[in-house]
Every structure is written in C-alpha cells, then in structure tokens.
C-alpha cells in the first residue's frame, strides 16, 4: 500500500537538561552580510532516486512543505517555495531573495512550530514500487548563488 514517512524534528542539546534534547522544525539558514543588497538564491537537487544497494525506490517523492521565513533582523523577507516536491536530477528553487531582500540572517523553517514541523517533510512511497529490506538513501545538493533567480 502507499505510505508516507515524516522527517523527524531537528534536535539540539538542552543546556538545562542534556538528557532531554530540544526540538524544532527542520530549517536552512542563510546569512547575507555582504552589504551589496543584490539578492541571492537557494536551490536543492536530489541527485538520484532513493536506492538500496542496487534497487531504486521507484516513484518515491520527497516533499518539503509548510515553509516560512523567519529573521530577527529587520528587512524584507525573501520568498520561499512551498510546498516543493523533488524530482531526481532536477534542481528546484527553495528560497529567492530579490534585490534588497534577504539581508542579514534568514531561516527557512519547514513548519512554523513543532506541531507543523512534524508533518512538513515527507517521503511518499507508492505501494506498487518494488521494496527490498535495508536502508534507502539519496544525496541532496544545496546550491547558494549570489544573485536572485
């Protein structure tokens, strides 16, 4: 049968209790302190389909959803693409900062809080795909360019 698997929340060391980690939605952080205000672009590419040794997990789709931009810096927020579903071998824009946007430190959160974050990054696996016992992996390449798309 078709199945959806959710990415776990990011975990951090809790300074108050090292045995109980803190959690927050998965995120990407970009800091632009160049002062040129020309903008920037962040994209992602899934290099290949999820593989288990020799078997591909045909039809599996990795999706990033519920994207929100956050910053403690004053300024104009860049635009986040959400939801976005990766296609193996193709780059897709995640965040785009036009001229005079995205200055300072910006965080692209997948989920505005832990409740949303728990269901923001998913791997959908079709029921009819061939599955072999073991661990399936893929590689994601993030590309940050110094100009808007």
Report which of 81, 100, 97, 80 is spatially closest to residue 41, judged by C-alpha positions. 97
What residue ranges of the chain have pLDDT lower than 70?
A: 149
Structure confidence by residue, pLDDT tens digits, 86-104: 999 999 999 999 999 999 9
DSSP states along the chain: --EEEEPPPEEE--SS-TTS-EEE--EEEEEE-SS----EEEEEEE-S--EETTEE-TT-EEEE-SEEEE-SS-SPPPEEP-SEE--TT-EEEEEEE-TT-S-EEEEEEESSSHHHHTTSEEEEE-TTS---SS--B--EEEEEESS--
Residues 85, 35: Cα–Cα separation, whole Å: 33
Q: φ, ψ for residue 92 (rounded to 5)? A: -135, 140
Q: Residue 14's pLDDT is what?
A: 86
Residue linked to tokens 């108050």? 16
Residue 46, token pair as written in the block: 């899934």
Residues 25, 14: Cα–Cα separation, whole Å: 16
Q: Residue 18's pLDDT is what?
A: 87
Q: Residue 54's pLDDT is what?
A: 85
Answer yes or no: are the C-beta atoms of 33 and 149 closer than 8 Å: no
Residue linked to tokens 């995640």? 94
Report which of 38, 41, 57, 40 is spatially closest to residue 49, judged by C-alpha positions. 57
């Amino acid at each position: 049968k078709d199945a959806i698997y959710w990415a776990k929340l990011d975990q951090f060391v809790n300074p108050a209790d090292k045995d109980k980690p803190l959690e927050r939605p998965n995120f990407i952080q970009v800091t632009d302190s160049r002062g040129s205000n020309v903008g920037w672009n962040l994209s992602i590419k899934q290099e290949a389909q999820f593989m288990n040794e020799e078997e591909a997990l045909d039809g599996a789709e990795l999706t990033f959803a519920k994207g929100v931009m956050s910053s403690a810096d004053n300024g104009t927020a860049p635009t986040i693409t959400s939801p976005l579903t990766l296609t193996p071998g193709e780059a897709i824009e995640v965040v785009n900062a036009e001229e005079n946007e995205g200055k300072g430190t910006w965080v692209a959160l997948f989920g505005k809080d832990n409740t949303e974050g728990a269901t923001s990054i998913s791997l959908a696996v079709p029921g009819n795909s061939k599955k072999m016992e073991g661990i399936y992996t893929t590689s994601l390449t993030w590309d940050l360019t110094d100009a808007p798309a």
